[in-house]
Structure 1
Amino acid sequence: MRLVQLTVPTGKRETILEALDDREIDYVLTDEESNRGYTAVVYFPLPNAAVEPVLDELQDAGVDEDAYTVVVDAETVVSRRFETLKEEYENGDVETDRISRQELQSEADSLTPTFAVYSIMTVISAVVATAGLFLDSPAVVVGSMVIAPLIGPALGLSVGSVIDDEELFRESLYYQILGILLAIAAAAVFAWTVRMTNIVPPGLNLSEVGEISERLAPDLLSLAIALGAGVAGIISIATGTAVALVGVMIAAALIPPAAAAGIAIAWGQPSAAIGSTALVFVNVLSVNLAGLVTLWWAGYRPENLFSLGETEQRVRRRVLGLAVIVLVFAVFLGAISYSSYTVSTFEQNAREETATVLSQEEFEAYQMLEFEVVMDENYPFLGPERVVITVGGPPGEAPPELADRLHERINRHTEEEVAVEIRYVGLVER
């Protein structure tokens, strides 16, 4: 429910009151004595779904943007006429629960902080995320998402497109590009500082840190996260619910991958930064694509109906352009996913071959203690570099034919030869 406070321009008093009476809207009228071109202030409650059509009708009646119109939340309205009005406008579809176009535009503006605050908070969130990745701490990484100010620009671009507010669109686009560059640069500088001051071990292998390695070789599931964040973000802002929590979700799609890209750059591994940088871009594009489609589906249109056709064409072009770019990135992520699948399949087959060889009669005195596939560092398309098998058996040395047999059978499942390393542990019975 909303309470609308509207200043009545001189000469429009009767027109506005007649419009409210025709819709059977309860209102309270107070005289205005400020001598600023207004004769009164009218207060009236409205269901959420009625705000946009009523304000549009009043604007047609002569209430221009120079008049003050304030829309605030109303906790409770006790009125039979209000209940009738509610039944008239609320029909159970998605447009019933959404806020008005006017409120949506105001909300999108308010979610984007000033340039200075946005820059500072983006840098801080990137630094915190980088520290969390080094610590391999999911809790710290989540904390970095909470302070990231990304939801405003991420959603403002979609809002500006569908309501024909090109200024909001351009500002949001600028903020998003700036945010990505700032986050990666801040992460790279911080990671380089950490490396040079030996705060982390000098020989740190990025692939051995789980929170980092999973973002250096992202898979296709990352696309689902970004699309879900975009849809959820738009729905939350359009219904006025849980905007802050969805902001964390959007930051989850952008800040940690940007921090991982910065770490890879600081470690002098630009190829390792390819996957995480691609993940950042596919995520931000997917958020905007999902936002555009969701807003248009929710029924938002420009205020000026004469610009509807032009706006619709513009939205279609942007949706198509974003969809094509996202599809290209999706193919790239799909290739990474397929690479991960082949590695997993190889590991499973190699493990089974090892068990099969050790189950043979001539090797029945031996058993597999540990099995590990060591990956190369050809990010983002990782492959097996060597297989390390720890075998236990009678004191002494493992028979040479065991290593040969394992090498032969394991390499049946890979196109490029993989080294097989046997570590033998003598077992003594007591």
Structure 2
Amino acid sequence: MRLLQIAVPVGKRDAVESMLEASDVEYFLTDETSRREYSALVFVPTGPEDVEALVDELREIGVQEDGYVTISKLEAVLSDRFERQQSDEPTPDADDEETGDRIAREELRARAAEIAPATPNYVLFTVVSTVIATAGLLMNSAAVVVGSMVIAPLIGPAIAASVGSILDDDELFRTSVRAQFLGLGVAIGSAAVFAGLVRFTFLPDLQIQLIEQVGERINPGALALVVALGAGVAGTVSLTSTTSVALVGVAIAVALIPPAATVGLGIAYGDGTAAVSAGILVVINVLSINVASLGTLWVQGYRPEHWFAEQSARRAVIRRAALLVVAVLVLSSALGVTTINVSENAEFERTVADIASESDAHVLSLEFSYRTDLFLRHPTAVTVRIIGGSQDTAVALRDRITDHTQRDIAVIVIREDGAASTTQRLESPSIEHVPVSSSHSSGALAIG
């Protein structure tokens, strides 16, 4: 529920009363005696979907020129008459197809302006959430990474920029864009500083690409784009309705905070592949959130209050949306490459599993190791845990894998009794990670 409080200027009282009577809304009018330039005060309780139509009519009368209209949120209205009116007599002037359940543009602008600026708290919460996310990545803990997103404040500028474009508010747009750049810069910088401290104190030789949570952000697939677009739509709808913005803000933080933390990790550990790949993902996600937000606001029917500003706003929206879409499509080609690579690797793993199942041993498990390049992962080794089999199992598997896949990779075979054999020296630099546990390393090592 909303409450409109109208200070009616002298000479406008009859027009305001006639408009309210024609709109068939419940209102209360009292004479204004404290200041001579106002003739009356009017209180109008109404639904949020009707506010915009009423404010537009008040603007046509000219109330805003010498008077004012305030809009506040009502927690409850205790009135059987009012409830009957709301259920039985909807406001004729409210265009349900245009407004639906969304709030009025004036309320939207006020909410966007409140969450758009880069305040000290905005910076502080960005730093804290990014540090927690970086710690979660280093711990390979999805729970910690998700928890960091709850306090991330990045939803405000991401959605407010689109509100500024739609409502032809250049100041709001510029403020929001600056806040987005600042927030991402602070996130990457704080992650790099924190990860640098970890590297020089606790984990100097950590291979960050071998961490599962980090690897997901270094080589993301095309579905990452769906996450960003969905987050933009959800964030916008939450801002234009009564849904909790903070709750939906977690979705936007999912698309921005972990990739930004990964960029910081790549910088701290001198891993250019991680920094560049995750950095491109950050750019794709922030652009996708903005374009999804623009589209959602336009579909919801938001336009500037003045008809002459609508044309310039439409041109600005089309121009900015076109630039965002082109940039997203160009950058998303990298996600397409990664998606194809993921599919190829999955097919390779299935082929190797089939080959191993046809060997002379009982296969317990398969573990694959990869070398990570920009947008691509290349298999380097497969560790096969078996029961039984001959001493030539590793050589036979490698030959069959090469014949079927045209990929020459190391094959490490570990038997139940702890003995191991490999077709390639374990210290070979092409094998980044050999998943042999310490319990097996005590056994005899046979080089096939």
TM-score using structure 2 length = 0.87
Q: Quote the Cα distance in structure 1 between the aligned partners of 2:325 and 2:86.
A: 43
Q: Deviations over 1:300-325 (max 9, x none)?
A: 00111012122112111111111111
RMSD: 2.2
Deviates more, 1:140-149 or 1:221-230: 140-149
Match of 2:383 among 381, 384, 388: 388
Gap change, CA 1:122 and 1:413, over 3 Å in 2: farther
In the TM superposition, what are the counterparts of 1:253-264 in structure 2 within 5 Å?
Answer: 253-264=255-266
Gap change, CA 1:186 and 1:8, over 3 Å in 2: same
Q: Deviations over 1:9-42 (max 9, x none)?
A: 2322222222212223332122333437323221
Gap change, CA 1:385 and 1:66, over 3 Å in 2: farther
**Contact residue 346 and residue 413 of structure 1 kept, 8 A:** no
Secondary structure of 1:385 counterpart: strand
The answer for the alignment partner of 1:128 in structure 2 is 132
Gap change, CA 1:226 and 1:36, over 3 Å in 2: farther
The answer for the alignment partner of 1:296 in structure 2 is 298
Q: Quote the Cα distance in structure 2 between the aligned partners of 1:114 and 1:188.
A: 21
Deviates more, 1:62-71 or 1:148-157: 62-71
**Contact residue 401 and residue 407 of structure 2 kept, 8 A:** no
**Contact residue 119 and residue 179 of structure 1 kept, 8 A:** yes
The answer for the alignment partner of 2:432 in structure 1 is none
The answer for the alignment partner of 1:11 in structure 2 is 11
Is 1:161 aligned to 2:173, yes or no?
A: no
Q: Which has the higher contact order (CA 8 A, sep 6+)?
A: 1
Q: Quote the Cα distance in structure 2 between the aligned partners of 1:158 and 1:374.
A: 43
**Contact residue 26 and residue 82 of structure 1 kept, 8 A:** no
The answer for the alignment partner of 1:150 in structure 2 is 154
Is 1:116 aligned to 2:111, yes or no?
A: no
**Contact residue 47 and residue 86 of structure 1 kept, 8 A:** no
Q: Quote the Cα distance in structure 2 between the aligned partners of 1:34 and 1:279.
A: 59
Q: 1:58 Cα shift?
A: 0.7
Q: Quote the Cα distance in structure 2 between the aligned partners of 1:36 and 1:220.
A: 64
Deviates more, 1:165-174 or 1:31-40: 31-40
Q: Quote the Cα distance in structure 2 between the aligned partners of 1:326 and 1:159.
A: 20
Q: Quote the Cα distance in structure 2 between the aligned partners of 1:193 and 1:286.
A: 33
**Contact residue 49 and residue 89 of structure 1 kept, 8 A:** no
Q: Quote the Cα distance in structure 1 between the aligned partners of 2:148 and 2:66.
A: 41
Q: Deviations over 1:52-101 (max 9, x none)?
A: 11111111111126633221233235335554552535676462211111
Gap change, CA 1:32 and 1:336, over 3 Å in 2: same
Match of 1:276 among 275, 278, 301: 278
Q: Quote the Cα distance in structure 1 between the aligned partners of 2:342 and 2:87.
A: 58
Q: Deviations over 1:275-306 (max 9, x none)?
A: 21111111111111111011101110011101
Q: Quote the Cα distance in structure 2 between the aligned partners of 1:91 and 1:33.
A: 36
Secondary structure of 1:88 counterpart: coil
Q: Quote the Cα distance in structure 2 between the aligned partners of 1:159 and 1:46.
A: 24
Q: Quote the Cα distance in structure 2 between the aligned partners of 1:120 and 1:152.
A: 14
Deviates more, 1:324-333 or 1:287-296: 324-333
Secondary structure of 2:116 counterpart: coil
> Which stretches in structure 1 are left out of the alignment for 5+ residues?
none
In the TM superposition, what are the counterparts of 1:42-57 in structure 2 within 5 Å?
Answer: 42-57=42-57
In the TM superposition, what are the counterparts of 1:354-365 in structure 2 within 5 Å?
Answer: 354-356=356-358, 358=359, 363=360
Q: Quote the Cα distance in structure 1 between the aligned partners of 2:349 and 2:174.
A: 49
The answer for the alignment partner of 1:367 in structure 2 is 362
Q: Give the aligned length.
A: 415
Is 1:187 aligned to 2:182, yes or no?
A: no
The answer for the alignment partner of 1:376 in structure 2 is 371
**Contact residue 117 and residue 157 of structure 2 kept, 8 A:** no
Gap change, CA 1:91 and 1:38, over 3 Å in 2: closer
Q: Quote the Cα distance in structure 1 between the aligned partners of 2:405 and 2:292.
A: 39
> Which stretches in structure 2 are left out of the alignment for 5+ residues?
420-448
The answer for the alignment partner of 1:399 in structure 2 is 391
Match of 1:214 among 216, 226, 233: 216
Q: Quote the Cα distance in structure 2 between the aligned partners of 1:368 and 1:283.
A: 41
Secondary structure of 2:168 counterpart: coil
